[in-house]
Amino acid sequence: MAEHAQVHAEVHGHDHDHHHDHDHDHDHHEQSFISKYVFSEDHKTIAKQFLIMGLIWAFIGGAMSVIFRLQLGFPDMNLEFLRPILGTWINETGKLGQEQYLALVTMHGTIMVFFVLTAGLSGTFSNFLIPLQVGAPDMASGFLNMLSFWFFFLASVIMFASLFIETGPASGGWVVYPPLSALPQAMSGSGLGMTMWLMSMSIFIASSLLGSINYITTVINMRTKGMSFTRLPLTIWAFFLTAIIGVLSFPVLFAAALLLIFDRSMGTSFYLDQIYIGGEALHNQGGSAILYQHLFWFLGHPEVYIVLLPALGITSEIIATNSRKPIFGYHAMIGSMIGIGFLSFIVWAHHMFMTGMNPFLGTVFMFLTLIIAVPSAVKAFNYIATLWQGNIIFTPAMLFSIGLVSVFISGGVTGIVLGNNALDIQLHDTYFVVAHFHIVMGSASFFGFVAGVYHWFPKMFGRMMDAKLGYIHFWITFIGIYCVFFPMHYTGIAGFPRRYYSHTGFDAFNKFADLNMFISGAAIVTFFAQGLFAFNFVYSIFRGRIAPENPWNATTLEWTTPRVPGHGNWPHGQIPHVHRWAYDYSKPNADKDGFGDFIPQHIPLSQTPNSNTEHDMAHSHKAQHA
């Protein structure tokens, strides 16, 4: 901590000297603890707030999955020992209750998709990296950025509180399809728990929109001199496109949630029609339950890419840096991300092949869905081509990035099966789907998240995380992920449906007791291995080795800041200008210019006469004339 304080003092001291240089200065001195760490408008602090909230949620969501995996893998086990945590969720016979099982499944999904992989991942790295990598002193609006985090915090508090109410949290699956979610008499989780879910998600959407608008504005308006769009690191491209997708799709989820709120509390019938429940016929008529699904998946599918694209962006950066090689096919990578972003809006109904919608519509959506495999494949090939002829350094971040590419492929190919509606007849809502999206979306994004933390930890906290613990963490997690999710394909092919409390009721699905036990065991080991990461993270914040300014010898602008960048990011407000793209690794003849195997983005071409290529010169002329 002493180290921290010293650096801050230094930075502040300098700022004081140059008091008139930039207008951010006056903030620095009078900052109280509250305005500096709590209601901070500094993008780096906000990023850390998102990170820590995200990690806390990740452990809660992960622990939930361990508990319901206990029920699935060891159905005869006495769960009495969980009573201190779960209380009455464990029934008199020492088993997890059936509704509580569904509550855990629902909350696990909601937490992981929205709170960990949307807010945690995007919130952390978009906030941290966008200003640092485009060369801006902060986000376009620090205030909106602060609001974004505190809306997320409020949403988190409401969702967390809903775990403790008597009727339990929302339990109708993370998609909360009405009528189940609309009718409190249908299940206890559809009572107050569902109201809180809707409140929390509405606030969450506001948080996400505030964040996204800020990210878009900052990328468009606040790039430093010379930072053209074609010189942006791929991380920024990924965050930028993610934010655009979010701004276009989250409002639709808000509309869906709002209509559901109306149906629940004001007697409207947007989603309800011809219902007889609890011994009475309801007055609701004329609504459509399928309408909700269309609205939900109009966000729900882009959401998959909101979660995945930042992870892919982070991976692009880490793989290039640690292969000591430019990313292969920079333009193709941008093109494929734009393609994925666009297509993600017109594939949503592949989640609904079996809802009874017109079979012709199903054909259209199958066609569009399988097209999206093409840009995804291009991305995977480009990652592999980046490794090819590289000189690879296996940092923990690099391991997780390579792991990401592997799970991205493994989970991606099963999407080709599920996207085909003829095959979806049998596989829809089975464990094949669970296996597919946990690998391609869950694990891949999680790997990207963790890779990002390992990679940018030195810039966030000024210290290094321990690499050896990182290696162990990676290998256990990598093996664990495959052990958990690969066998699920088998139970899925056999047709075992999702969200089943028990697999023993049907002769068709009850042959997998051993496999389920294996999956649960692997899940428990994988979950507890994350303790290594938690320990490494917390320990390194306080006791990690002091990081150099640029520990990975990377080219992007954030590594030109001080070890712990202060407010305004670059001392004296001297924001570097950019003269080249982000991937001048191992450039031929760079040694003659006095550089090693990388030339940072802010080095002018005039300093590197020997290594400049014709393309560099042409590009710079164009920039000058423009």
Q: Residues 181 to 240: which contact another protein by CB under 8 A?
A: 183, 186-187
> What radius of gyration do the chain's Cα atoms show?
25
| 378 binds another protein, rule: CB under 8 A | yes
CA distance 459 to 438: 30
Residues 399-428 touching another protein, rule: CB under 8 A, are 399, 402, 405-406, 409-410, 413-414, 416-417, 420-423, 425-426, 428
| 362 binds another protein, rule: CB under 8 A | yes
Q: Which of 143, 229, 367, 528 binds another protein (CB under 8 A)?
A: 367
Is residue 92 within 8 Å of 556, Cβ to Cβ?
Answer: no
Instruction: Report the first-to-last Cα separation within the chain, whole angstroms.
Output: 47
C-alpha pair distances (Å), 211 with each of 55, 151, 239, 512, 593 = 19, 10, 11, 44, 41
SS3 430: strand
Comparison of 261 and 417: residue with beta carbon closer to another protein: 417
| 534 binds another protein, rule: CB under 8 A | no
Quote the least distance from Cβ 248 to another protein, whole Å. 25
What tokens were used for 83?
């009573």
Residues 24-43 touching another protein, rule: CB under 8 A, are none
Quote the least distance from Cβ 98 to another protein, whole Å. 5
Of 159-167, 252-260, 455-463, 468-476, which part binds another protein (CB under 8 A)?
A: 468-476
- Binding letters toward another protein, positions 280-319, x by CB under 8 A: -x---x-xxxx-----------------------------
Residues 93-122 touching another protein, rule: CB under 8 A, are 98-99, 102
CA distance 357 to 313: 36
Comparison of 48 and 619: residue with beta carbon closer to another protein: 619
Give residue 7's identity as a one-letter amino acid code.
V
Residues 423-462 touching another protein, rule: CB under 8 A, are 423, 425-426, 428-430
Q: Which of 137, 142, 168, 179 binds another protein (CB under 8 A)?
A: 179
Quote the least distance from Cβ 79 to another protein, whole Å. 16
Closest by CA to 139, choosing from 76, 87, 213, 81, is 213
CA distance 194 to 257: 11
Count, residues near another protein per rule CB under 8 A: 126
Comparison of 53 and 275: residue with beta carbon closer to another protein: 275
CA distance 414 to 370: 11
Q: At what angle do helices 444-461 and 289-323 cross, to 10 degrees?
A: 50
Is residue 104 within 8 Å of 173, Cβ to Cβ?
Answer: no
Instruction: Find tokens 């505190």 and name the residue.
Output: 150
Give residue 428's identity as a one-letter amino acid code.
H
Q: Which of 61, 172, 448, 458 binds another protein (CB under 8 A)?
A: 172
Of 233-241, 301-309, 397-405, 560-568, which part binds another protein (CB under 8 A)?
A: 397-405
Is residue 182 within 8 Å of 204, Cβ to Cβ?
Answer: no
Quote the least distance from Cβ 601 to another protein, whole Å. 15
| 551 binds another protein, rule: CB under 8 A | yes
| 9 binds another protein, rule: CB under 8 A | no
| 466 binds another protein, rule: CB under 8 A | yes
Quote the least distance from Cβ 162 to another protein, whole Å. 18
Quote the least distance from Cβ 340 to another protein, whole Å. 13
| 586 binds another protein, rule: CB under 8 A | yes
| 535 binds another protein, rule: CB under 8 A | yes
CA distance 369 to 416: 8
Residues 328-347 touching another protein, rule: CB under 8 A, are 328-332
What tokens were used for 406?
């592997």
Is residue 222 within 8 Å of 131, Cβ to Cβ?
Answer: yes
Quote the least distance from Cβ 300 to another protein, whole Å. 15
> What DSSP line would sit under 262-294, residue for residue?
HHHHS---SS--S-EETTEE-S--S--HHHHHH
Of 41-49, 113-121, 297-305, 502-510, which part binds another protein (CB under 8 A)?
A: 502-510
SS3 315: helix
Q: Which of 325, 350, 438, 455 binds another protein (CB under 8 A)?
A: 325
The phi and psi torsions of 34 (rounded to 5 degrees) equal -65, -45
Q: Which of 133, 316, 395, 612 binds another protein (CB under 8 A)?
A: 395
| 499 binds another protein, rule: CB under 8 A | yes
Is residue 40 within 8 Å of 27, Cβ to Cβ?
Answer: no
Of 61-69, 442-450, 475-483, 571-579, which part binds another protein (CB under 8 A)?
A: 475-483
> Which residues have CB under 8 Å from 443's CB, separation 6+?
407, 411, 481, 485
